[in-house]
């Protein structure tokens, strides 16, 4: 299943999508000692199908996300600064560096850990790790699939520069005629990382039948006549086929933002912590399976990650 399917996005006349909501992303505690700005998966925006959560995270070397389970969703982790180690009960392990991504399908069940890598050559590397983590719902028919990973390294990501003021990393989907690497996730998702210099503008096509949001990471932008500051998530209406963004001419620095779009799933979302199902009964079953080491969680019995043991107290 390709994340770059066009889905009939070409129309005779392009219509910009209007802003439905703009939500500031407020920092909060998460995991063990980590700080995140959560703009999906909170009281303001519980979900935005197929998206379940968006965290802009900052992890100090003494913090992290030790062993924890998932079921019924996919996660996309995008490392902006630093290095993140991951390890799970299937034996998979590795490290994501700056600009790398991991597409993880939890499916019927997985237990893993995500921890900042400490660089011994730099006296413990006290710099925090920064990145984005997006949770994406799985179609009901795929919730019982086997877990899998798809890593995407920074040097594998196509980059397009439509003009001298705009640079786009085409992580997943299509931008200005350039396609991403295929077969990264089961649920069709577009993810595009923009850097726009002062005076620059963007007209990004998005597929029909997809929900779309823009998360601003740095600088100041204008969207549909509204001035948007960093750490704001903009949710768009479904009508229209383009997102229009500009950066004021006289702002002191470039703007950086991601535009993310995902195919709308017409199904119930019942979420409790790391488990995402389509009914309350299935959520109860997920907790029972995890507690009893059954139906996908067999390998959790007696397993503990090595990286989770490095928590500093």
Which residue is associated with the tokens 């700056």?
98
Identify the bridge partners of residue 188 per DSSP, sorted by sequence position: none
Q: Judge whether 266 is annotated as a binding position.
A: no
Only one residue has tokens 């995140």, namely 36
b/e per residue, 194-221, with b = 16+ CB within 10 A? bbbbbebebebbbbeebbbbbbbbebbb
23: closest CA among 41, 6, 50?
41
Q: Does the annotation place 208 within a ligand binding site?
A: no
Distance, CA of 79 to CA of 226 (rounded, Å): 29
Asked if residue 68 belongs to a known ligand binding site, the reply is yes
Q: Per-residue DSSP letters for 80-93?
A: EES-EEEEETTS-E
Sheet architecture: strand order including 210-218 = 19-24, 232-236, 210-218, 255-263, 189-196, 166-172, 159-163
User: Is 86 one of the annotated binding-site residues?
Assistant: no
Residue list for the binding site: 68, 70, 112, 114
Residue list for the binding site for Fe cation: 68, 70, 112, 114
């Amino acid at each position: 299943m390709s994340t770059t399917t066009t889905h009939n996005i070409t129309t005779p006349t392009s219509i910009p999508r209007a802003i439905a909501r703009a939500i500031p992303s407020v920092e909060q505690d998460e995991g063990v000692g980590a700080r995140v700005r959560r703009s999906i998966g909170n009281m303001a925006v519980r979900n935005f199908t197929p998206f379940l959560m968006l965290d802009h995270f900052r992890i100090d070397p003494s913090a992290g996300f030790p062993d924890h389970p998932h079921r019924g969703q996919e996660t996309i982790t995008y490392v902006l600064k630093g290095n993140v180690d991951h390890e799970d009960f299937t034996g998979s392990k590795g490290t994501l560096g700056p600009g790398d991504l991991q597409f993880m399908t939890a499916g019927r069940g997985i237990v893993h850990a995500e921890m900042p890598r400490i660089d011994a050559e730099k006296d413990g590397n006290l710099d925090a790790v920064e990145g984005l983590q997006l949770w994406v719902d799985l179609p009901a028919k795929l919730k019982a699939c086997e877990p899998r990973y798809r890593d995407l390294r920074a040097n594998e990501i196509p980059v397009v520069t439509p003009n001298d003021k705009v640079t786009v990393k085409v992580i997943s989907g299509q931008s200005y005629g350039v396609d991403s690497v295929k077969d990264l996730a089961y649920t069709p998702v577009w993810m595009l990382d923009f850097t726009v210099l002062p005076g620059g503008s963007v007209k990004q096509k998005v597929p029909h039948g997809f929900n779309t949001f823009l998360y601003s990471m740095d600088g100041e932008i204008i969207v549909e006549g509204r001035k948007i500051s960093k750490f704001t998530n903009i949710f768009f209406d479904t009508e229209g086929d383009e997102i229009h963004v500009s950066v004021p001419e006289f702002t002191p620095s470039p703007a950086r933002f991601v535009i993310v779009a995902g195919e709308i799933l017409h199904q119930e979302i019942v979420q409790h912590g790391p488990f995402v199902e389509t009914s309350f009964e299935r959520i109860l079953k997920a907790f029972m399976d995890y507690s009893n080491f059954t139906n996908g969680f067999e390998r959790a019995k007696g397993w503990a990650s090595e990286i989770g043991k490095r928590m500093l107290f």
